[in-house]
Amino acid sequence: MINQSHPEKEERESTTTRTTYPCDEALRQQLRKFRDDSKGGADEWTNARIASGIGLSVRVISDYLNPDGNKYDGDTKRIEGKLREWLRDIRLTLDTSITSFICDVSKQIETAVEEIRTAKRIGVIIGPPGIGKSRGIDLYCSTHELAIAFTTSSWHRNTNSFANCLLEAADVTQSKRGLRDFESFVEKTMGMTRPILVDDAHKLTRGALQLAYDYRDTTGAPIALFGDERLILKLKDDAQRLRRTGIVTRLKIKDATPLINHHIASLIPDANGETESLRKLCAQIVAKPGHFGSLQMELALAVRLKKGMPDWSWSEAVKHAHQKLIRDYEFN
């Protein structure tokens, strides 16, 4: 017989035998502030989400953060050890993240999607990894609330999974709309003008791509397929799909300076007199494969490295970060 673990039951039973200690009020206040400051934002941290990130039950987190009383009726030391570690790690992640920023790549994406939307066609938007396709999609959706967007993952790339992703992204479920299958969804969305944005569409199987084209032909819904050159290759091996592709846009980095400055200001605001030397290093990173994705990774790693070696200049920290990553070039 297999013994199954029940964290919540174990936690309840353990409170009768464990010695309780006064809570660390400063830690509780930090956590409550972190949670409350995130409310209503795109990255909201609820008690349930915090509990999931730590591996505890929601009840434990709710009881611990409850402002009434100064004791948590459980293994306080164990819980607080996990909470401190989680808060440290999540803050480090937040400290090395970049907010989306309107730049020439995001403007190219908005123009391309609007062309596809107004033409009510299937269009393809091509760009190498790290150029900012996903960020551009996020920015477009932030100002076009009717847009339907989702990212293709390796486990959601065949015909059935693609159909389910579209249903979910369109907020259409059996319980809400009574739709029994994808075919009835097609019937319900005839003439739909909401643009559909599919990120990493090069991962789609040819059958899933065919579904996208058939769906557009039947409903007239505008669809923007984002990907790299592998997407073009998949379209070229079917003359009918290639003929039905209305607009192809290839994204280019025309002026990297504003986005480079945004990265430096976000991750290294105390660069002081080193800003110009950092810009030169950043420009070399952006010009190579990985582009802005690589830039964020290298600057974020440089921030971590410099915390351990505060005597390094920021340029030295970036160069050491560069050496720790898989790169096929050296700085000039």
SS (H, E, C) 302-330: HHHHHHHCCCCCHHHHHHHHHHHCCCCCC
pLDDT band for position 318 (cuts 50, 70, 90)? very high
Residue 186: strand, helix, or coil = helix
Q: Read off the tokens for 57.
A: 């039950």
Res 17: pLDDT = 45
pLDDT band for position 158 (cuts 50, 70, 90)? confident
Read off the pTM: 0.74
Alpha helices (runs of H) in the chain, residue ranges in sequence order: 7-14, 25-37, 47-54, 58-65, 76-95, 104-119, 133-143, 159-169, 174-177, 182-188, 206-219, 229-236, 239-244, 257-267, 275-286, 291-308, 314-324
The pLDDT tens digits of the residues spanning 5-23 come to 455 544 444 444 445 567 8
Average pLDDT, the chain: 86
Q: Read off the tokens for 319.
A: 């160069």
Q: How far apart are CA 222 and CA 220, in angstroms?
A: 6
The pLDDT tens digits of the residues spanning 175-191 come to 444 345 678 788 878 88
DSSP class of residue 22?
B
Looking at domain 104-250, its CATH class is alpha beta
The pLDDT tens digits of the residues spanning 242-296 come to 899 989 999 999 999 999 999 999 999 888 889 999 999 999 999 999 999 999 9
pLDDT of 85 strictly over 60: yes
List Cβ neighbours of 107 (8 Å cut-off, separation of 6 or more): none
**DSSP character string of 74-93:** S-HHHHHHHHHHHHHHHHHH
- Residue 292 in contact with residue 130, Cβ under 8 Å? yes
